[in-house]
Amino acid sequence: MSVDTALIAADLSLRTPADGAVAGPRYRPWWTGLAAALAWALLAALTLGWENAAVGFSDWAYTREFGWLAAGVAALLGVAGLVPRVWPPVGARLRTAGPWLVAIAVGLGVWELVTAKLALLPTPFFAPPQSLIDVFVSDWFKLLDSAGNSLVLLAAGIASGALIGFLTGVWIGWSRNANYWIHPVLRVLGPIPTTALLPISFYFFPSSWSTAVFLIALGTGFPVAVLTWSGVAGVHKTYYDVARTLGASPWFLVLRVAIPAALPQVFVGLFMGLGAAFSTLVAAEMLGVKSGLGWYLTWSQGWAAYPNMYGALIIMALLFSGLISLLFLVRDRVLSWQKGTVKW
């Protein structure tokens, strides 16, 4: 069969016998999206149609706004479910997140039911979802200022700790004398929790901010140093032998052989150091500094403003998760030749 004959046969197979038109793709609604739209519509009906339980004050603010917001999400998901090909890039992402859209609506509905509608959980310790809207609308400036100060503190501590830890790890992995003297110190002092050093640190540093930077740097530097040392020490000797045969100097061996081979371990150490830095940041801000997310948590708890505390926790979770995602994005660019062993 010639090429032209095959093309004609394929074209005829796409035509229907009734009208001779080319058959298009079959229409299929996005059933998960329609289920998510129904869940959000039920959340809107629950919020708007059921009066809030009396809890000692007039009412929860932004209840109607929360209900109409849920109704708007339900409408958008309904359109996406009935016409799934309106916006292909967004539609593909929505399909991936479809089960989560259903789960979020169900979770918010249960939350709304046991707090605002039935008052099964005691106030002010537990507040409904619309209380978070009140927090973000009324106290956005203080939250934004606290998040910015926490980012500055994190940047100073993580940058200094990662740099010192990286240089120390390379030094220990390359030099036998450094390995002999510094490695035992790391093994003894490294596992000590940084928060346990808070009283001593406040004595040696002039301000609470510098104390927090030191503790964050210490928590970040230890895993970076250990894993960098492990990566440098684990480089196969054949690489060094080949480089020496080609006339490589000792500095070339360190900068172009040892460090590139140790980079996967360095990023694992940075990942572990970020977790330690986050916990140290919150503890340090709770005890000393005058602004930050940890300070905001203590302030809101002292005033029994638990919705504000939950809002700060949400911002903290998104901020810290975003920083780790940024680290893995950099790792994937720098180590494009390697599939990462640690996923996020």
Q: Would you say residue 18 lies in a domain?
A: no
167 plus 307 within the same structural domain? yes
Task: State the number of CA atoms in the 13 A half-sphere of 263 facing the CB.
Answer: 19
- Which CATH number fits the domain that encloses residue 247? 1.10.3720.10
pLDDT at 50 exceeding the cut of 50:
yes
pLDDT digits (tens, 9 = 90+) for 161-186: 999 999 999 999 888 898 889 888 88
289 plus 327 within the same structural domain? yes
pLDDT digits (tens, 9 = 90+) for 193-239: 888 887 788 788 878 888 889 999 999 999 999 999 988 988 888 88
Cα–Cα distance for residue pair 178/225, rounded to 1 Å = 12
- DSSP secondary structure letters along 141-208: HHHHHHHHHHHHHHHHHHHHHHHHHHHHHHHHHH-HHHHHHHHHHHHHHTTS-GGGGHHHHHHHSSSH
Quote the mean pLDDT of the chain.
Answer: 84
**Burial of 162 by CB count in 10 Å (0-12 exposed, 13-18 middle, 19+ buried)?**
buried
Domain boundary among 128, 152, 175: 128
Cα–Cα distance for residue pair 4/178, rounded to 1 Å = 75
Q: Would you say residue 70 lies in a domain?
A: yes
pLDDT band at 30 (very low <50, low <70, confident <90, very high): confident
124 plus 158 within the same structural domain? no
- Domain residues for the domain of 281 are 140-334
85 plus 218 within the same structural domain? no
